[in-house]
Amino acid sequence: KNQVEQSPQSLIILEGKNCTLQCNYTVSPFSNLRWYKQDTGRGPVSLTIMTFSENTKSNGRYTATLDADTKQSSLHITASQLSDSASYICVVSDRGSTLGRLYFGRGTQLTVWP
C-alpha cells in the first residue's frame, strides 16, 4: 500500500530557531516529492518540488532534501518566524509523464512561539 508518513505530528519551537520535519514514503513507482505549507483555514501553497535526481531544493529559508534510495525526505526551516506557524504537508507523486496520482501525508503542525 502506497503511503506517506510524516513526523513529528506536531512541533513547537521558539522564534529564530531552526527545525527539521521528516517524511517517509513507500510510493512506487516514484516520480516526485512536494512540500506544501498550509495555513489554518487556507489551501496548501507549494514550497518545493523534487524529482528522483534532485537531492536538495531551497526556497528562501526552506530547504528540502530527498534520499530516493531510503525513500526519505526532510524539510529544514532556518531562522523560524512567527509566520512559519502552519501545517507542512509532504506529497508524493507516482507518475512522470503527467501530474500522476498524489499521495498526501497528514502534515506536521508547526507552532512558532515568540
Residues 62-91 that bind other proteins (CB under 8 A): 89
Pick one of 1, 28, 43, 114: the residue that binds other proteins (CB under 8 A): 43
Q: Does 35 bind other proteins (CB under 8 A)?
A: no
Q: Report whether 103 contacts 6 (CB < 8 A).
A: no
Pick one of 51, 59, 74, 85: the residue that binds other proteins (CB under 8 A): 51
Pick one of 12, 14, 82, 99: the residue that binds other proteins (CB under 8 A): 99
Specify the stretch interacting with other proteins by CB under 8 A; choose among 16-24, 38-46, 61-69, 78-86. Answer: 38-46
| Distance (Å, whole) CA 75 – CA 60 | 12
SS3 of residue 3 by DSSP: coil
